[in-house]
């Protein structure tokens, strides 16, 4: 099997989750760029204060409801979910760990948890878990969206590279899962500008999905730390970013289920909340 090298840098800003994960150079793919310093933003940076206590694990089985919502058109930029409510969108990026992707799939199977994956398509974990993910995608618990082919900082890429990064991943999603990620893409490192948005939009990627809260697990962290971030950020109408790069999160899925249940939160995918352009 072809080995791929990944550089796991320092953790992003606390709470921003703006990351630290750079795909190595892959044959046939554009060169990865050095990890930039995440751009501070009033929307995405939230200092942590008074970390709450960590919850006990919730014994499985537990089954989340299937949401039935009045949907609205997907906006150009997503940072949270519109309006008042009890929805939570957990969005999971990259896919550096096949075991972790499998863990998320198992969570969706066992509890009806709903997850939107932002797939970095050059990583083998997505193909390796395709058979497990297919029925979850078919019944709507799992949604596949676009996180580029090689995790390049799109603000440093040419217009053509932006198009290639997104279209290669779209083709992968179509050939592997029979779905398109459109219109949702998440720019690596949360970095984008008007030029990136225009290039993405030119091929139907019209909705740039950011986040408002993070499990801060793009790099390796310990379970208690991840649970503190989860306790802090799994809140109503939030879009929370996690990563399928290390299996730490898999070990605390019972606790995450407990947080969501105790707070009366309804997990949703982006497709549960928004309609795609026709």
Question: Which residues are at the interface with Zn ion (CB under 5 A)?
Answer: 93-94, 188
- Are the C-beta atoms of 185 and 166 separated by less than 8 Å? yes
Residue closer to Zn ion (CB basis): 88 or 154: 154
Residue closer to Zn ion (CB basis): 188 or 242: 188
- Closest-approach residue to Zn ion (CB): 93
* Minimum distance from residue 170 beta carbon to Zn ion (Å): 17
Return d(Cα 133, Cα 179) in angstroms, integer: 12
* Minimum distance from residue 80 beta carbon to Zn ion (Å): 19
Helices in the chain by DSSP H: which ranges? Answer: 98-111, 125-128, 130-138, 159-177, 194-201, 223-233, 248-251, 253-262, 270-273
Residue closer to Zn ion (CB basis): 218 or 257: 218
* Minimum distance from residue 218 beta carbon to Zn ion (Å): 6
Return d(Cα 107, Cα 103) in angstroms, integer: 6
Q: Residue 125 forms beta bridges with which residues?
A: none
Residue closer to Zn ion (CB basis): 29 or 58: 29
Residue closer to Zn ion (CB basis): 12 or 188: 188
* Minimum distance from residue 211 beta carbon to Zn ion (Å): 11
Residue closer to Zn ion (CB basis): 122 or 266: 122
* Minimum distance from residue 44 beta carbon to Zn ion (Å): 14
Structural tokens at position 9: 């840098």
- Are the C-beta atoms of 74 and 276 separated by less than 8 Å? yes
Return d(Cα 248, Cα 98) in angstroms, integer: 13
Q: Residue 209 forms beta bridges with which residues?
A: 78
- Are the C-beta atoms of 154 and 201 separated by less than 8 Å? no
The 10 Å Cβ neighbour count of residue 150 is 27
Structural tokens at position 42: 């009033």
* Minimum distance from residue 242 beta carbon to Zn ion (Å): 11
* Minimum distance from residue 94 beta carbon to Zn ion (Å): 4
Residue closer to Zn ion (CB basis): 80 or 94: 94
Return d(Cα 86, Cα 162) in angstroms, integer: 35
């Amino acid at each position: 099997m072809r080995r791929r090298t990944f550089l796991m840098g320092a953790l992003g800003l606390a709470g921003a989750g703006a990351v630290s994960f750079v795909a190595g150079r892959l044959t046939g793919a554009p060169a990865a760029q050095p990890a930039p310093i995440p751009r501070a933003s009033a929307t995405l940076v939230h200092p942590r204060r008074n970390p709450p206590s960590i919850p006990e694990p919730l014994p499985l089985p537990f089954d989340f409801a299937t949401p039935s919502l009045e949907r609205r058109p997907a906006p150009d930029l997503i940072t949270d979910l519109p309006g008042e409510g009890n929805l939570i969108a957990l969005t999971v990026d990259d896919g550096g760990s096949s075991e972790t992707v499998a863990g998320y799939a198992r969570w969706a199977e066992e509890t009806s948890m709903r997850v939107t994956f932002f797939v970095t398509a050059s990583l083998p974990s997505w193909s390796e878990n395709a058979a497990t993910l297919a029925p979850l995608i078919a019944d709507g618990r799992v949604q596949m969206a676009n996180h580029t082919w090689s995790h390049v900082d799109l603000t440093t890429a040419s217009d053509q590279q932006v198009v290639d990064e997104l279209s290669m991943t779209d083709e992968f999603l179509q050939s592997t899962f029979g779905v398109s990620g459109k219109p949702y893409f998440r720019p690596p490192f949360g970095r984008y500008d008007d030029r990136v948005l225009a290039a993405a939009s030119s091929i139907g990627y019209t909705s740039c999905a950011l986040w408002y809260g993070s499990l801060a697990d793009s790099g390796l962290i310990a379970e208690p730390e991840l649970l503190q971030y989860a306790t802090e950020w799994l809140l109503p109408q939030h879009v929370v970013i996690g990563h399928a790069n290390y299996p730490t999160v898999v070990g605390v899925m019972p606790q995450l289920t407990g947080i969501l249940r105790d707070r009366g939160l309804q997990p949703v995918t982006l497709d549960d909340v928004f309609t795609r352009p026709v």
